[in-house]
A and B are shown apart, each in its own frame.
Chain A
Amino acid sequence: MSEKLKISIKNLNVFYAEKQALFDINLNIMEREVTSLIGPSGCGKSTLLKCLNRMNDLIDICTMDGQVMIDGANINTPDQDPVLLRSKVGMVFQKPNPFPKSIYDNVAYGPRLHGMAQSKDELDSMVIKSLTRAGLYDEVKNRLFEAGTGLSGGQQQRLCIARALAVNPEIILMDEPCSALDPIATAKIEELIEELKRKYTIVIVTHSMQQAARVSDRTAYMHMGELIESGFTKNIFSNPQHQKTQDYITGRIG
């Protein structure tokens, strides 16, 4: 663990119209670690995650104050380009959402968008590299030009991860990436996360305590829009400081 600060959230408040969804969040996320966000449904995990790549900009009624710093720069100042930010901070969604295009075109979409490949060969190798990293290449190498929507749910989710990896992000946000998957597909994704954290900073929202315990280095527990406590996963699970955390991880709330 490098112990280098990657993302720093300071006094973050988020509102959906009049309704406040996040209350004064302060959280540090370290480089090349997996940080998991846990908490009961509706506590604001997805909202917090979306603040990290400004996906909330798309929601008209969503407003915020406070700061989100990535590599020491506030991502919400007017001179920051959200498009550039999103190519640096990739996102994987709860439900696999491949484009209605071929597997190849799914992965190639990002590189094409940002003009990352100078030639067809370069693009090919980018696609193959990303699929390999996502642990999907061997399964699909013979049908790269078939529809991505024709894959199984777990394969689709790995395709979405490959698609996110293809734009060379530094941070990957995952919002319950395994909630639509069976245990075997889940195990594959977890292995993948283990593998990816050597190169990427990962923030993952999960509803499964076991998953948080298995894959993450640090854990943040949220409740009703507030960050209750955060720290090393092993500490949170073995020795929670707050009663609410204790109740949640032992299954009394949630």
Chain B
Amino acid sequence: MNNLNKRNKAEKRFKLYGISAVIIAITFLFVLLFNIFSSGASAFKASYIGVKIEIPSAMNIDEINSRKEFKRQVLKMFPEVETRSDKRALLSLFSKGAIYEFEDLLEQSDSNGLDGYYWFLAHGDLDMYIKGTVERRGNEAGRINSKRMTFVDALREQNLIQLQANKYLLSSADSREPEMAGIRGAIVGSLYAILIAFIVSFPLGVLSALYMEKLASRNKFSDIIETNINNLAAVPSIVFGLLGLAIFLNFFSLPRSAPLVGGLTLAVMTLPTIVIASRSAIKSVPPSIEEASIGLGASKIQTLMNFTLPLAMPGIMTGTIIGIARALGETAPLLMIGMVAFVVDVPGTPLDPSTALPVQIFLWADSPERAFVERTSAAIMVLLLFLVLLNLAAIYIRNKLERKW
């Protein structure tokens, strides 16, 4: 009786330990996510300044010097401004991107003239003040000095500074100007890299697994290979980066910083994961089914193709996607092969220089510019989103392909 009580108590205590462990783990996760989301959410908005643009339809837009014209239109709003330094302070509230936006606007107007308020990207310094990242002390806020502040106040009075959707974050590549910096280049670079990693490592991994599991005869040699593959899965990823540097860049002279090389390096890194997952999936296919197929006069290869591979596919795909997800979040090997460069263009092909999402996060986190803090978190959010999507894909594929036998 006493014994039973004791045992029940011990069981309850153990359960409690377990639950507290789970709660602590989940709390950490939530604190982390909350942190990232609360500091990253603001990056999806950006400050824009409204400017009254008046261009008569008679004007030929090809003859307009957009830079000068934009300045003229802005200064027109503050006719009282006269000194050069005041003018410069006013214009410095705009991002460099505002000129490009103005050019686009002119292009779209198709010589039909413009009349009304249009919104132009504000400078990063202003953006930080508007978002409250830097606090106002008297007439200054961070790099917004009192001269600039008079214009800011005037514009705000007329409600001409607004937070709007950040068009740059998801549509442009990296930039020196934080307000114009985006992660499209990094996303495209990452997608190219994991696509190449998948194309290379999936067939190689599945074929080696099939060969080792079903075709190779067991001997010392195959044992050595098996041990090596298992050990490869535990090799730190930066070592694969060194390997990529030595083989793909130095030996094969492939272009530096290119997603092609990144993808190949990640493929080498992912290969052991895929081989191990595929082997265990292939191993778990019931031998009775293979025997039945062989017994009906199917060859070994036909049996592999008709039953072993399809039945192992859910497991293989799950392992592959997990491997690819790991590759997507990998930074170290990409640093080694030069995907850490500052690239302002979205890569058009896998041979163009590019960064990758995790590398972009690393670069921005390293930047002294405070405006990059929120963008770092936003990039992390996008990376997490991709990882969640990959995992959902893994679950979907598993459920879709899985059949009972």
Given the complex of chains A and B, what is the CA–CA distance between A149 and B405 in angstroms?
A: 6
Judge if A60 is at the interface, Cβ distance under 8 Å: yes
Are B294 and A100 in contact, with the CB atoms below 8 A?
A: no
Which residues does chain A contribute within 8 Å of B307, judged by CB atoms? 99
Interface residues of A in 40-85 (CB under 8 A from B): 53, 55, 58, 60, 83-84
**Least distance between A165 CB and chain B CB atoms (Å):** 11
Contact of B298 among A91, A95, A113, A160 (CB under 8 A): A113
Are B302 and A113 in contact, with the CB atoms below 8 A?
A: yes
Contacts A97-B289, A100-B404 given: A109-B295 contact, CB under 8 Å? no
Interface residues of B in 293-310 (CB under 8 A from A): 293-299, 302, 306-307
Q: Which of B292, B293, B302, B311 has the most CB of A within 10 A?
A: B292
Give the bracket for the number of chain A residues in contact with chain B.
20 to 34
Judge if A16 is at the interface, Cβ distance under 8 Å: no
Given the complex of chains A and B, what is the CA–CA distance between A164 and B307 in angstroms?
A: 17
Judge if B217 is at the interface, Cβ distance under 8 Å: yes
Which residues does chain B contribute within 8 Å of A114, judged by CB atoms? 297
Which residues does chain B contribute within 8 Å of A98, judged by CB atoms? 292
Given the complex of chains A and B, what is the CA–CA distance between A109 and B302 in angstroms?
A: 11
**Least distance between B376 CB and chain A CB atoms (Å):** 48
Closest A-chain residue to B300, C-beta based?
A58
Given the complex of chains A and B, what is the CA–CA distance between A163 and B341 in angstroms?
A: 62
Contacts A60-B217, A100-B403 given: A110-B292 contact, CB under 8 Å? no
Given the complex of chains A and B, what is the CA–CA distance between A114 and B405 in angstroms?
A: 25
Judge if A215 is at the interface, Cβ distance under 8 Å: no
Interface residues of A in 83-111 (CB under 8 A from B): 83-84, 86-87, 90-91, 93, 95, 97-100, 109-110
Judge if A227 is at the interface, Cβ distance under 8 Å: no
Are A110 and B297 in contact, with the CB atoms below 8 A?
A: yes
Contact of A110 among B218, B286, B291, B296 (CB under 8 A): B296
Given the complex of chains A and B, what is the CA–CA distance between A95 and B292 in angstroms?
A: 11
Closest B-chain residue to A53, C-beta based?
B295
Given the complex of chains A and B, what is the CA–CA distance between A45 and B212 in angstroms?
A: 31
Judge if B288 is at the interface, Cβ distance under 8 Å: yes
Are A97 and B288 in contact, with the CB atoms below 8 A?
A: yes
Are A83 and B295 in contact, with the CB atoms below 8 A?
A: no
Contact of A99 among B218, B289, B294, B302 (CB under 8 A): B289
Are A100 and B296 in contact, with the CB atoms below 8 A?
A: no
Judge if A34 is at the interface, Cβ distance under 8 Å: no
Contacts A100-B311, A149-B405 given: A113-B296 contact, CB under 8 Å? yes
Contacts A99-B307, A100-B403, A100-B404 given: A113-B297 contact, CB under 8 Å? yes
Judge if A167 is at the interface, Cβ distance under 8 Å: yes
Are A86 and B294 in contact, with the CB atoms below 8 A?
A: yes
**Least distance between B137 CB and chain A CB atoms (Å):** 72
Which residues does chain B contribute within 8 Å of A95, judged by CB atoms? 288
Which residues does chain A contribute within 8 Å of B291, judged by CB atoms? 55, 58, 93, 97
Are A87 and B296 in contact, with the CB atoms below 8 A?
A: yes
Are B294 and A97 in contact, with the CB atoms below 8 A?
A: no
Which residues does chain B contribute within 8 Å of A113, judged by CB atoms? 296-298, 302
Given the complex of chains A and B, what is the CA–CA distance between A160 and B217 in angstroms?
A: 30
Bits for B82-97, please: 1 = Cβ < 8 Å to A, else 0: 0000000000000000
Are B295 and A99 in contact, with the CB atoms below 8 A?
A: no
Interface residues of B in 247-306 (CB under 8 A from A): 286, 288-289, 291-299, 302, 306
Given the complex of chains A and B, what is the CA–CA distance between A147 and B298 in angstroms?
A: 21
Closest A-chain residue to B292, C-beta based?
A97
Given the complex of chains A and B, what is the CA–CA distance between A86 and B290 in angstroms?
A: 14
Given contacts A53-B295, A97-B292, 4 further A-B contacts (CB under 8 A): A100-B404, A113-B296, A160-B292, A163-B292
Top 9 closest pairs, chain A to chain B, by CB: A87-B297, A97-B288, A100-B405, A91-B295, A86-B297, A110-B296, A97-B292, A100-B403, A83-B297
Which chain B residues have a beta carbon within 8 Å of chain A's beta carbons?
217-218, 286, 288-289, 291-299, 302, 306-307, 311, 403-405
Query: Can you identify 28 A-B contacts, CB atoms within 8 angstroms?
Result: A55-B291, A55-B295, A58-B291, A60-B217, A60-B218, A83-B298, A84-B297, A86-B296, A86-B297, A87-B296, A97-B286, A97-B288, A97-B289, A97-B291, A99-B289, A99-B293, A100-B289, A100-B404, A109-B296, A110-B296, A113-B296, A113-B302, A147-B404, A149-B405, A160-B292, A163-B292, A163-B296, A164-B295
